[in-house]
Structure 1
Amino acid sequence: MERTNGKLRPLMLVGTGSDVGKSVLAAAFCRIFRQDGYRPAPFKAQNMALNSYATPEGFEIGRAQAVQAEAAGVPCHTDMNPLLLKPCTDSDAQVVLNGVPVGTKSASDFFRKRGREALRRTVCEAFDRLETRYNPVVMEGAGSISEINLRELDIVNMPMALHAGADVLLVADIDRGGVFGSVYGSLMLLPEPQLERVKGILVNKFRGDRALFDDGVRMMEELCGIPVLGVVPYFRDIHVEAEDSLVLEGKSREAERGKVSVAVVLLRHLSNFTDFDALERDPRVRLFYTDRPEEIASADIVVLPGTKSTVDDLRRLRSDGTAAAVLGAHRAGRTVVGICGGYQMMGRAILDPFGVESGTKRMPGLGLLPVETTLRREKRTRQVRFTLDGDEVPCRGYEIHMGETVPVPGAGLSPLNRYEDGAGEGYRLDGRCMGTYVHGIFDNPAFVDMLLAPYAQRAAVPFDYRAYKEEQYDRLADHVRRHVDMERIYEMLSRP
């Protein structure tokens, strides 16, 4: 459906709660607007996630907004997620503002009035810049819009909608039950100026015969005085990268098909788990997440992933027997790969002279690679282009880390990768033991083919993950378009 590129008002998706599907629906609308001839972009004022991404300029944003930008077909930018909170503990989080870490704060420090207006100005300025470059901006709220105890401090939900002049759709998850109460209660707790911005309701994750919910739609519209603009069925056969790690155990159950078994060690502070989406979808692979020593020992390939707290997670691996299982897998000839924090763990030692992560100045590593890491205060965040050492196939990925890893004296250089400037990166002991700082390395067929080479008899068909993702965005858009009244949404967004 080709449309004239008239200016549309921003569209904002807010929720009756967390995990109702706002992020995926935002990606769907980004794709739909792109398909219809517009140049959309995503925006979320404040995101809390360990899953982050590096922009082309070398700054950090939430992975969900990077995925939404990819669905929109535009480069990701810090203006799409100006405030990112990366939890360090149950009560502390690193604060990333406009792509740059500015410190670690407790929840009590962050949710206070002092300094809040400065944050509000910052996120509003980011939105204002974004809106001059894209049309429309697809905005996403956070959690529930009805947390009345936090209303004065809210910078991401309805106050952001008021600033943007956005038309708001309230998303509710019918699969969890209580959809009428959650929708009605969410709306009735809004003050009048905010309630006026809510133009429609989306019922998400519906199961069963849609016709049986016709009376429910009528009742909801009569009760709330707001139209239901879509009832979107639950889906399992469309795969879009998830925002948080709550889905990982489900992934381990779903990934029973395949041939080469890949165990991703389930760390407590695991971050950037979307590194493994390509492997999970690769028909040659059976990927699962686990912290059980017996499952690690039986896998063909063991991956130590990124982590927000390398020292603490390494300590836990030793205490629960997981470290011994990884070492046993290596001795048995299994493949062991470390990504970012996992790469740091595989070395001889982790040094923390500046107390970046803890008071432990030196933590012995697993000793699988002849390298050691020094944690630094400065975070390195950048997109990278590289080749595997000794290969010429171009690859790409990104770095987000606060450490420098170098070979120990006498070990010699054995890089896994070569950057465009010729610099070596990572370390490859052999074809079955290697580590790298490059997130997204599994998205590159050249690396995956090299990784699966020892298991060639069971891994026959190459897999193009980038083409696969594009197909999934189109399928997601088609799914949402079929079940949402896009004509009414376009009419709504086009009004003066």
Structure 2
Amino acid sequence: MKGIMLQGTASDVGKSLVVTALCRILSDEGRKVAPFKSQNMSNNSYVTADGKEIGRAQGIQAEAARTEASVWMNPILLKPRSQQDSEVVYLGKAIETFSGREYREKFYEKGLEVIQESLNQLSNQFDVVVIEGAGSPVEINLKDRELVNMMVAEMADVPVVLVADIDRGGVFASIIGTLELLEPEERKRVAGVIINKFRGDITLFEDGVQWLEEKTGIPVLGVLPYIDHHMIDGEDSLSITNQFSNQKQGNLDVVVIHLPFISNYSDLEPFLYEDDVSIRWVKHGEEFGVPDAVIIPGTKSTIQDMKYIREQGLDVKIKSHYENGGFTVGICGGYQILGEEMVDEAGSDTGIPNNSVQGLGIIPGKTCFFQEKKTVRTEAAYHKNTGFPGNIGLEGYEIHLGNTFISQKGCSFLTLANGKEEGYFKNSGQLIGTYLHHLFHNDEWRNRWLNLIRERKGLAQKEIRNLREFKDQRFTALATQMKAHLKWELLKGIIENWSSEE
């Protein structure tokens, strides 16, 4: 197999972003390239064209590579459901929930088999595979049964490039420490180092590059700049902090409830590119303030997060906000939370069959959780109830265990491509519930909803901003920017010519 693997000296050093850039660079050079991550842990997922679920990062990397995402690019996805347990999504389908210990003891051999099968599939279909590791390759307590770092590099027989984050400090120690903790055979596989997230004048780091190369005997393949607003979807809770930490103060104050088990928060990322929108992530009732709109996002554990909302005093704040005319939107789990009751018939949400909890009672509906999860890409149009033009298409995807049954007639939000009605819509859009993830990635809808709020506040309407075209342009811009700071010919030579037998 021709390929390369990027491993990090720690979590959140920027591996996903660098893999995304490499996929676009190689695609620009005419190579048929695929991303790969053997095991991902994230509640921010992506639905493939055939209705399977993989890590969002690999779906985005496939888009950057100009290829269709598939389960072979991320055969194992772990979706945390509590502090101890995670749902295992195997080749795109949820199969079981394990504790960390159970997973290591019961799933390891099966994991190795599906990783090898996936690597074989990708090797047969693509010219180059760009592989992403997870965390650090030298977590001593986990190394004996790991499925995502050096074990995968050995199975694929590809060189490894270490990515280190200089922005967090300690970059020299993190690189040297990682190399020292690798086994001799593992260290031989490390063909280069990339320093990521550098701020300021990169020429001032030339002495640092020289020192690292002399100390390790390994080339520094690039010193990459810190890139703000790259518009590449994040993967985990750390990405929420990074992407929204520098949010501007716009005229429209939109609160997002920061649920403990939040999932698919990429639903909110388009607001970063609306100049007059300020996103505030709120965890406690005292932080709520007086927003223009509230969004309750998706969650991997709806009932637990409903209890959290109540414990933090957010239930009173959200209901008061709506009753006083504030715009309120629930997406997937957030839609379920807005309803009157949630019943876990199969125990698929809580592990306790027939467990039930009262929702916020804002939407007249009851959610029942079943065993089978629905994962599907979705096309829809505005329902006639909305008064919006019915010929405008919306796209997104659904990932949910529960179905919500609305007791009130004539309040649907969408008409799906199969003719079924979906969601809840009231008071000209003041209240919306839907299972459609990426609703706000639809430029026309996002503009329409924001203009409703602008009108309420007496602000001028704004034109539609086309973020879909802008996003593809950002892939190219990201690749161009990173390539300028990489020793690209050297890196490409490693991909083409490296051999473990040397």
Normalising by the smaller structure, the TM-score range is: over 0.9
Residue 101 of structure 2: aligned partner: 108
Given the alignment, which residue of 354, 358, 370 partners 1:364?
A: 358
How large is the RMSD of aligned CA atoms in angstroms? 1.7
What CA distance in whole angstroms lies between the structure 1 residues aligned with 2:336 and 2:376?
18
> In the TM superposition, what is the alpha-carbon distance from 1:53 to its structure 2 partner?
1.4
Given the alignment, which residue of 254, 266, 277 partners 1:274?
A: 266
Contact in 2 for aligned 1:79/1:126 (Cα 8 Å)? yes
What CA distance in whole angstroms lies between the structure 1 residues aligned with 2:242 and 2:188?
38
Contact in 2 for aligned 1:12/1:139 (Cα 8 Å)? yes
2:204 paired with 1:212:
yes
What CA distance in whole angstroms lies between the structure 2 residues aligned with 1:118 and 1:313?
32
Given the alignment, which residue of 401, 417, 421 partners 2:418?
A: 421
Residue 405 of structure 1: aligned partner: 404
> In the TM superposition, what is the alpha-carbon distance from 1:318 to its structure 2 partner?
1.4
After TM superposition, the structure 1 = structure 2 runs for residues 51-62 of structure 1, keeping only pairs within 5 Å, are 51-62=44-55
Residue 380 of structure 1: aligned partner: 374
Task: Evaluate the alpha carbon distance shift between residue 483 and residue 338 of structure 1 in structure 2; reply closer, same or farther with a 3 A threshold.
Answer: same
What CA distance in whole angstroms lies between the structure 2 residues aligned with 1:250 and 1:448?
23
2:223 paired with 1:231:
yes
Residue type matched to 2:398 in 1? Answer: E
Residue type matched to 1:436 in 2? Answer: T
Residue type matched to 2:99 in 1? Answer: S
**SS of residue paired to 1:67:** helix
What CA distance in whole angstroms lies between the structure 2 residues aligned with 1:283 and 1:305?
22
Given the alignment, which residue of 146, 154, 175 partners 2:146?
A: 154
Moved more, 381-390 or 257-266: 257-266
> In the TM superposition, what is the alpha-carbon distance from 1:283 to its structure 2 partner?
2.4
2:121 paired with 1:121:
no
**SS of residue paired to 2:298:** coil
> In the TM superposition, what is the alpha-carbon distance from 1:242 to its structure 2 partner?
1.2
> In the TM superposition, what is the alpha-carbon distance from 1:32 to its structure 2 partner?
0.9
In the TM superposition, what whole-angstrom CA distance separates every residue of 1:436-473 from its partner, at most 9, and x where no partner exists? Answer: 00111110023213312322434413111211211221
Provide structure 2 residue ranges, at least 5 long, that are not aligned to the other structure. 385-389
> In the TM superposition, what is the alpha-carbon distance from 1:122 to its structure 2 partner?
0.7
Task: Evaluate the alpha carbon distance shift between residue 138 and residue 251 of structure 1 in structure 2; reply closer, same or farther with a 3 A threshold.
Answer: closer
What CA distance in whole angstroms lies between the structure 2 residues aligned with 1:442 and 1:246?
22
Moved more, 469-478 or 444-453: 444-453
**SS of residue paired to 1:103:** strand
Task: Evaluate the alpha carbon distance shift between residue 108 and residue 345 of structure 1 in structure 2; reply closer, same or farther with a 3 A threshold.
Answer: same
Contact in 1 for aligned 2:234/2:240 (Cα 8 Å)? no
Given the alignment, which residue of 440, 443, 459 partners 2:441?
A: 443
Task: Evaluate the alpha carbon distance shift between residue 286 and residue 115 of structure 1 in structure 2; reply closer, same or farther with a 3 A threshold.
Answer: closer
What CA distance in whole angstroms lies between the structure 2 residues aligned with 1:36 and 1:449?
36
In the TM superposition, what whole-angstrom CA distance separates every residue of 1:334-354 from its partner, at most 9, and x where no partner exists? Answer: 110000000001111111122
Given the alignment, which residue of 486, 489, 492 partners 1:487?
A: 489
2:49 paired with 1:68:
no
> In the TM superposition, what is the alpha-carbon distance from 1:128 to its structure 2 partner?
1.2
Task: Evaluate the alpha carbon distance shift between residue 237 and residue 436 of structure 1 in structure 2; reply closer, same or farther with a 3 A threshold.
Answer: closer
Contact in 2 for aligned 1:245/1:273 (Cα 8 Å)? no
**SS of residue paired to 1:175:** coil
**SS of residue paired to 2:88:** strand
Contact in 2 for aligned 1:369/1:429 (Cα 8 Å)? no
After TM superposition, the structure 1 = structure 2 runs for residues 81-92 of structure 1, keeping only pairs within 5 Å, are 81-92=74-85
Moved more, 374-383 or 441-450: 441-450
Residue 393 of structure 1: aligned partner: 392
Task: Evaluate the alpha carbon distance shift between residue 21 and residue 252 of structure 1 in structure 2; reply closer, same or farther with a 3 A threshold.
Answer: closer
**SS of residue paired to 2:223:** strand
What CA distance in whole angstroms lies between the structure 1 residues aligned with 2:250 and 2:20?
28
Residue 97 of structure 1: aligned partner: 90
**SS of residue paired to 1:149:** coil
What CA distance in whole angstroms lies between the structure 2 residues aligned with 1:175 and 1:149?
27
Task: Evaluate the alpha carbon distance shift between residue 12 and residue 479 of structure 1 in structure 2; reply closer, same or farther with a 3 A threshold.
Answer: same
Residue 180 of structure 1: aligned partner: 172
Aligned length: 486
What CA distance in whole angstroms lies between the structure 1 residues aligned with 2:288 and 2:301?
21
In the TM superposition, what whole-angstrom CA distance separates every residue of 1:72-113 from its partner, at most 9, and x where no partner exists? Answer: 12121111100011111111111111111111100111123x
Residue 387 of structure 2: aligned partner: none
**SS of residue paired to 1:94:** strand
2:465 paired with 1:472:
no
Provide structure 1 residue ranges, at least 5 long, that are not aligned to the other structure. 1-7
Using structure 2 for the length normalisation, give the TM-score.
0.93
Residue 135 of structure 2: aligned partner: 143
Contact in 2 for aligned 1:32/1:481 (Cα 8 Å)? yes
Given the alignment, which residue of 314, 322, 331 partners 1:322?
A: 314
What CA distance in whole angstroms lies between the structure 2 residues aligned with 1:371 and 1:40?
46
> In the TM superposition, what is the alpha-carbon distance from 1:291 to its structure 2 partner?
2.5
> In the TM superposition, what is the alpha-carbon distance from 1:235 to its structure 2 partner?
2.1
In the TM superposition, what whole-angstrom CA distance separates every residue of 1:104-134 from its partner, at most 9, and x where no partner exists? Answer: 100111123x541221011111121012112
